[in-house]
Amino acid sequence: METTPFWLAEPPPELEVAATDSADVAVIGAGITGCSAALALARGGLRVRVHDARGIAEGASGRNGGFALRGGAARYDVARETYGADAAQELWRRTEAALDRLESMAGEAFRRTGSLRLAADDEERAEILAEYEALREDGFAAEWRDELPHLRPEFRGAIFHRSDGALQPARFVRGLARLAAAEGVAFQQNCRIESLDALEAEQVVIATDGSGRGLLAELDDAVWPARGQVLTTEPLDERLFECPHYARHGFDYWQQLSDGRIVLGGFRDFSILTEMTDEETTTEPIQEALDAFLVELLGRMPQVTHRWAGIFGLTQDLLPLVGAVPGRPGTWVAAGYSGHGNVLGFMCGELIAGAVLGREDPLLELFSPARLLVSG
């Protein structure tokens, strides 16, 4: 059984070892956020060095479900109530634009399949109906589906989000790293940064999502690590799912890849307390729940080829922290996507680069770290 994620099985890019001369910006984290930020910073004329304790995309960015979704981690109707109507609209519109940019850069790593957000019971049906109506009211494309004959167990309706898609996340992030390297970005891999003081750069961008514990105490208090577990099956002969599917508030998610494999993740809520951890290991209770659901979905147990875990960062209001760290001049953060970081991470990498380069943006107000960080 492979415990390395299926996505990371492809050989990594060969990048030149980072030069030791000084950089204007040091980025900690070579996931989707760090690579996206590094590329945008280099294109903005700065000298950039990216540091990672592991390799490119070996954190959550190479361990996720591969869903590329618009919006934030909260439902759209809830986002309108919590963040305000204008802010929610801006966030959804901007992630749709980020998806378009991602598609234009991703090549074969992205398929514009749409996604199906399912209701597991009547209560969830009422919730996603409210989301569907809110999206339509504000002019966002969304389709309601009552007939779901391809699915067992039975679901109680779904929203089809046509603009979403399926991402080979590691391939995409490694592609970003290659583009960044071509713009002069230096990568220092397999080297953990123990303290920000060790970095010789005027500006530091922390792009560690849920795995940066120990770098800044105030960040540890605001971005909580959570573990997600995933499995991949052998390729199946039959095509069962045309797009990524997710249910139970996004706790369960699965998709079928072009080669017929099923990628299934979730069931974190079956053991919610033990899954609030940054220990990157699979556990029996969650893997058993995944297996049982696989049998429900397929009517049989296929061979499972990969099982893995990954760590993501949760925040109290389900929005990321993107911007300057209060009380620490020259220190920036982009992290805390609450399990929704493929498109958001790509977008927030660009956003934090813009902030470092002095650009204003309404999203920087919404994502302001000061709302959750107590000055260190």
Ligand X SMILES: Cc1cc2nc3c(=O)[nH]c(=O)nc-3n(C[C@H](O)[C@H](O)[C@H](O)COP(=O)(O)OP(=O)(O)OC[C@H]3O[C@@H](n4cnc5c(N)ncnc54)[C@H](O)[C@@H]3O)c2cc1C
For the record, the structure tokens of 307 come out as 């099982």
Pick from 72, 165, 345, 369: which binds ligand X (CB under 6 A)?
345
Q: Does 92 bind ligand X (CB under 6 A)?
A: no
Q: Does 192 bind ligand X (CB under 6 A)?
A: yes
In angstroms, give the least distance from the CB of 348 to ligand X. 8
Candidate ranges 52-60, 111-119, 139-147, 150-158; the one touching ligand X (CB under 6 A): 52-60
Rank residues 132 and 337 by Cβ distance to ligand X and give the closer one. 337
Q: Does 275 bind ligand X (CB under 6 A)?
A: no
**End-to-end alpha carbon distance in the chain:** 44
Rank residues 157 and 212 by Cβ distance to ligand X and give the closer one. 212
Task: Please identify the residue of the shown chain whose CB is closest to the bound ligand X.
Answer: 341
Rank residues 32 and 106 by Cβ distance to ligand X and give the closer one. 32
Pick from 18, 43, 47, 54: which binds ligand X (CB under 6 A)?
54
Pick from 310, 323, 354, 369: which binds ligand X (CB under 6 A)?
310
Do 190 and 294 contact (CB within 8 A), yes or no?
A: no
CA distance 321 to 324: 9
Q: Does 193 bind ligand X (CB under 6 A)?
A: yes
Q: Does 5 bind ligand X (CB under 6 A)?
A: no
Pick from 6, 26, 29, 236: which binds ligand X (CB under 6 A)?
29
Q: Does 311 bind ligand X (CB under 6 A)?
A: yes
Q: Does 261 bind ligand X (CB under 6 A)?
A: no
Pick from 41, 60, 88, 158: which binds ligand X (CB under 6 A)?
60
Pick from 243, 340, 354, 356: which binds ligand X (CB under 6 A)?
340
Candidate ranges 82-90, 114-122, 127-135, 339-347; the one touching ligand X (CB under 6 A): 339-347
Rank residues 122 and 192 by Cβ distance to ligand X and give the closer one. 192
Candidate ranges 49-57, 94-102, 115-123, 288-296; the one touching ligand X (CB under 6 A): 49-57
Do 168 and 63 contact (CB within 8 A), yes or no?
A: no
Do 305 and 233 contact (CB within 8 A), yes or no?
A: yes
Do 333 and 323 contact (CB within 8 A), yes or no?
A: yes
Q: Is the dihedral of CA 144, 97, 85, 335 positive or negative?
A: positive
Candidate ranges 18-26, 105-113, 292-300, 310-318; the one touching ligand X (CB under 6 A): 310-318
Q: Is the dihedral of CA 150, 155, 156, 159 positive or negative?
A: negative
179: how many CB neighbours lie within 10 A of its CB?
Answer: 17
Q: Does 289 bind ligand X (CB under 6 A)?
A: no
268: how many CB neighbours lie within 10 A of its CB?
Answer: 20
Adjacent-strand bridge partners of 228:
310
Answer whether the bond into residue 153 is a cis peptide, omega within 30°: yes
Q: Does 342 bind ligand X (CB under 6 A)?
A: yes
CA distance 2 to 6: 8
Pick from 8, 58, 203, 372: which binds ligand X (CB under 6 A)?
58
Helix H segments across 84-168?
85-106, 122-137
Specify the amino acid at residue 98. A
CA distance 123 to 79: 19
SS (H, E, C) 277-344: CCCCCCCHHHHHHHHHHHHHHHCCCCCEEEEEEEEEEECCCCCCEEEECCCCCCEEEEECCCCCHHHH
Pick from 265, 323, 354, 369: which binds ligand X (CB under 6 A)?
265
In angstroms, give the least distance from the CB of 262 to ligand X. 14
The residues binding ligand X (CB under 6 A) are 28-34, 51-54, 58-61, 63-67, 69, 192-193, 207-209, 211-212, 215, 228, 230, 265, 310-312, 335, 337, 339-342, 345
